[in-house]
Structure 1
Amino acid sequence: MNKEKRREILERLRANNPHPETELNFSSPFELLVAVTLSAQATDVSVNKATDKLFPVANTPQAIVELGVEGLKGYIKTIGLYNSKAENVFKACQILLDKHGGEVPEDRAALEALPGVGRKTANVVLNTAFGWPTIAVDTHIFRVSNRTKFAMGKDVDKVEEKLLKVVPKEFKVDVHHWLILHGRYTCVARKPRCGSCIIEDLCEFKEKTEI
Structure 2
Amino acid sequence: MNKNKRIEILTRLRDDNPNPTTELNFSTPFELLVAVTLSAQATDVGVNKATDKLFPVANTPKKIFDLGVDGLKDYIKTIGLFNSKAQNVHKACAILLEQYPQLDLDQGEIPESREALEALPGVGRKTANVVLNTAFGWPTIAVDTHIFRVSNRTKLAMGKNVDLVEQKLLKVVPKAFKQDVHHWLILHGRYTCVARKPRCGACIIEDLCEFKEKTSD
- Quick check: TM above 0.5? yes
Mapped partners of 1:45, 1:9: distance in 2: 28
Which sections of structure 2, spanning at least 5 residues, go unmatched? none
Which residue is equivalent to 2:125?
119
- CA deviations on 1:2-38 (whole Å, 9 max, x unpaired) are 0000000000000000000100000000000000000
Which residue is equivalent to 1:154?
160
| CA apart distance, 1:104 | 1.0
Which residue is equivalent to 2:42?
42
Runs of 4+ in 1 over 3 A off after TM superposition: none
| CA apart distance, 1:183 | 0.1
Residue of 191, 194, 198 corresponding to 1:192: 198
Q: Which amino acid aligns with 1:66?
A: D
Mapped partners of 2:139, 2:117: distance in 1: 16
Which residue is equivalent to 1:69?
69
Q: Which amino acid aligns with 1:123?
A: N
- CA deviations on 1:25-70 (whole Å, 9 max, x unpaired) are 0000000000000000000000000000000000000000111111
The answer to whether residue 27 in structure 2 is matched with residue 24 in structure 1 is no
Q: Which amino acid aligns with 2:47?
A: V
Which residue is equivalent to 2:170?
164
SS of the residue aligned with 1:203?
Answer: coil
Q: TM-score, normalised by structure 2?
A: 0.97
Mapped partners of 1:118, 1:23: distance in 2: 20
Q: Which amino acid aligns with 2:136?
A: F
Q: How does 1:92-131 map to 2 (within 5 A)?
A: 92-101=92-101, 102=105, 103-131=109-137
Q: Which amino acid aligns with 1:48?
A: N
Q: Which amino acid aligns with 2:176?
A: E
Which residue is equivalent to 1:13?
13
Mapped partners of 2:65, 2:156: distance in 1: 43
Q: Which amino acid aligns with 2:194?
A: V
What is the count of residue pairs matched by the alignment? 211
- CA deviations on 1:85-127 (whole Å, 9 max, x unpaired) are 0000000000011112233110000000000000000000000
| CA apart distance, 1:203 | 0.2
Which residue is equivalent to 2:82?
82
Which sections of structure 1, spanning at least 5 residues, go unmatched? none
SS of the residue aligned with 1:129?
Answer: helix
Mapped partners of 1:65, 1:51: distance in 2: 15
Mapped partners of 2:21, 2:114: distance in 1: 21
Residue of 126, 131, 135 corresponding to 2:141: 135
Structural RMSD (CA): 0.5
- CA deviations on 1:65-86 (whole Å, 9 max, x unpaired) are 1111110000000000000000
